[in-house]
Amino acid sequence: MSEQAQPFTIEQFYKYMLQGKLMGGKCKKCGKIHLPPRPLCDNCFSNEFEWIELPQKGKLLTYTVIHVAPTQFQGMTPYVVGIVRLENGSKIPGMIRGVAPEQIKIGMQLTIDFGTCAATQPWPQWPRYFFKPA
């Protein structure tokens, strides 16, 4: 199936991550870029999109260090999560690794890493990307 024929779903977004690509859905009618892709444009209600590759670098907007985690993350504490604004303006949250929590600063440049993306498990289970200093 050609790239453009893939469904504009969260599942497909994560499948692209397995290929090392950060992809968004661009509305063909109004041009809004959706990260993650959506089946219905929340701006103009169009359902026609095209896949576009998004920049893998961005700037840290805010962050926290999680010390008390849900059961499945307990073994990883403390860990850092943040929200990153990519170079095109899209925002995405994720864990931040490869830098000590006290070294982290709002505004620092980060890049996405797909290195730990394992094969997908049954839905809804996805690979876990993370961010690291650019």
Partner 1 sequence: MFNYYSIFHINRGRKGEISRLKGKPLVSIVSAGLSKFGKLEGLYSREIFAQAAKEAFDRCPNLDPKKDIKALFVGHMGESYEHQGHTGATAADWAGLLHIPATRTEAACASSSAALTAGIYAVLSGLCDVVMVGGVEKMTHRTTPEVTEYLAMASDYPFEQWHGITFPGLFALMATAHIHKYSTTEKHLAMIAVKNHYHGSLNPKAHMQKEITLENALSSRVIAWPLKLYDCSLITDGGSCLILTKPELAKKYTDTPVHIIGSGQASDTIGMYEREGFTSLTAAKLAAKKAYEMADVKPEEIDVAEVHDCFTIAEIIAYEDLGFSKPGEGKCLVESGDTKLGGRIPVNTSGGLKAKGHPVGATGTAQAYEIYLQLTEQAGRRQVEDAEIGLTHNVGGSGATAAVHIYRRD
Min CB(42)–partner 1 separation in Å: 9
| Binding status of residue 36 toward partner 1 by CB under 8 A | yes
Which one of 44, 73, 87, 118 is in contact with partner 1 (CB under 8 A)? 73
Closer of 51 and 92 to partner 1 (Cβ) = 92
How far is the CA of 14 from the CAs of 58, 123, 126, in angstroms?
Answer: 19, 11, 6
Tokens encoding 5: 């024929």
| Binding status of residue 71 toward partner 1 by CB under 8 A | yes
| Binding status of residue 101 toward partner 1 by CB under 8 A | yes
What is d(CA 62, CA 111) in angstroms, rounded to the nearest whole number?
15
| Binding status of residue 95 toward partner 1 by CB under 8 A | yes
Closer of 2 and 17 to partner 1 (Cβ) = 17
- 123 φ/ψ sector (left φ>0, alpha ψ -120 to 50, else beta): beta
Min CB(92)–partner 1 separation in Å: 6
Min CB(68)–partner 1 separation in Å: 5
Q: Which residues pair with 113 in a beta bridge?
A: 130
Closer of 2 and 124 to partner 1 (Cβ) = 124
The two beta strands, 130-133 and 91-96, are parallel
Closest Cα to residue 51, out of 34, 66, 30? 34
Tokens encoding 12: 């497909």
Which residues contact partner 1 (rule: CB under 8 A)?
A: 10, 14, 36, 61-74, 76, 78-79, 81-83, 91-95, 101, 106, 124, 126, 128
